Amino acid sequence: MRRLVFRAQHAGKRVGVVPTMGALHAGHLSLVDAARDDCDLVVTTIFVNPTQFGSGEDFESYPRDLAADADLLAPHGCDYLFAPTSSEVYPDGYATTLDVGPVAHPFEGKHRPEHFAGVATVVLKLLHMVPADVACFGKKDYQQTLVVQRMVTDLNVPTALRICPTIREADGLAMSSRNAYLTSTERHQAAGLHASLQLAKKMTGAGERDAGVLTQAVKAHLERLGGIQVDYLAFVRAGTIDEVAMLDGPTVALLAAHVGKARLIDNLEIEG
């Protein structure tokens, strides 16, 4: 894989990589499209990374269908699908992990303590295995984009990051491989996650600045829908993980919640 990428770069080609865990949907494919627009050679990686799942999480049941994923990638002009095995990624005796520091600690980091160490480490490993010029990530995983950016900056990784918009279903639900866990009732309830963040955006547009008031309104909206257990809801300064009590500029609303067996995350940019 490395030789292939280096050869392409030697020939003056720009290489893009899209790291994923498979069970591909239109959100992933939009990243492939972005890489395709920007690069001469596009590699998609599929690896369900065990170290970013906590015990009791869905590593075993995470949807896997490599053949279906390959069929989806071909029409989007993906040149290579790189799907290493666990033993290729984690050699015998493997012991090194990354701690990216404060950006990884709140929100997802608090609810999933080993998650970002696993993510940062596997992304670094994948960028060593596929040393692309550009790597595309989705804004849907807002905190993850900050963690990966921190790691790339701090460790001199010579790959530029491109952060792409969240692709949604018609009713606003952010596409996610985990949406497959939802029953039809839960699927309906899950659309409320985006709707509730839109409510916060609307209230902000009407002049509300108090994150406490917005939080109450979002939670009340979700409670009315039923079936949704919120892990966290927070308002952070855009481009950071710094929580704000009073909105005074570009802000991102972060939401994580359980709907049935699925734990879903979403976020929305709102003006402050």
Enter the tokens of residue 31.
Answer: 């990243």
Enter the tokens of residue 85.
Answer: 């095995």
H-run or E-run covering 40: none
Residue from 76, 112, 140, 221 touching ligand AMP (CB under 6 A): that is 140
Q: Is 28 in the site for ligand AMP (CB under 6 A)?
A: yes
Contact, 197 vs 230, CB < 8 A? Answer: no
Task: Give me the sheet containing 262-270, strands edge to edge.
Answer: 228-237, 251-259, 262-270
* CA 118 to centroid of chain Cα atoms: 13
Q: Is 257 in the site for ligand AMP (CB under 6 A)?
A: no
Site string for ligand AMP, 94-133 (x = CB under 6 A): ----------------------------------------
- The smaller minimum CB distance to ligand AMP, of residues 167 and 217, is found at 167
Residue type, 109: G
- The smaller minimum CB distance to ligand AMP, of residues 62 and 235, is found at 62
Q: Is 176 in the site for ligand AMP (CB under 6 A)?
A: yes
Give CA–CA dist 113/116, Å, rounded: 8
What single-letter DSSP state applies at residue 252? E
- Candidate list 28, 76, 194, 221, residue with the active-site label: 28
Q: Is 160 in the site for ligand AMP (CB under 6 A)?
A: no
How far the first Cα of the chain sits from its last, in Å, is 45
Residue from 8, 16, 20, 126 touching ligand AMP (CB under 6 A): that is 20
Q: Is 28 designated active site?
A: yes
Q: Is 30 in the site for ligand AMP (CB under 6 A)?
A: yes
Closest-CA residue to 197 (of 228, 242, 176):
228
Closest-CA residue to 191 (of 157, 217, 225, 160):
225
- The smaller minimum CB distance to ligand AMP, of residues 33 and 79, is found at 33
Residue from 81, 174, 211, 247 touching ligand AMP (CB under 6 A): that is 174
Q: Is 180 in the site for ligand AMP (CB under 6 A)?
A: no
Give CA–CA dist 103/147, Å, rounded: 6
Q: Name the β-bridge partners of 138.
A: 164
Residue from 47, 107, 137, 235 touching ligand AMP (CB under 6 A): that is 137
Contact, 38 vs 134, CB < 8 A? Answer: yes
Residue from 175, 199, 214, 234 touching ligand AMP (CB under 6 A): that is 175
Enter the tokens of residue 58.
Answer: 């869905």
- The smaller minimum CB distance to ligand AMP, of residues 51 and 166, is found at 166
Residues in the interface with ligand AMP (CB under 6 A) total: 17
Q: Is 69 in the site for ligand AMP (CB under 6 A)?
A: no
Minimum CB distance to ligand AMP, residue 167 (Å): 4
Q: How does strand 134-138 pair with strand 160-164?
A: parallel
Site string for ligand AMP, 200-219 (x = CB under 6 A): --------------------
Q: Which residues bind ligand AMP (CB under 6 A)?
A: 20-21, 27-28, 30-31, 137-138, 140-141, 164, 166-167, 174-177
Catalytic residues: 28
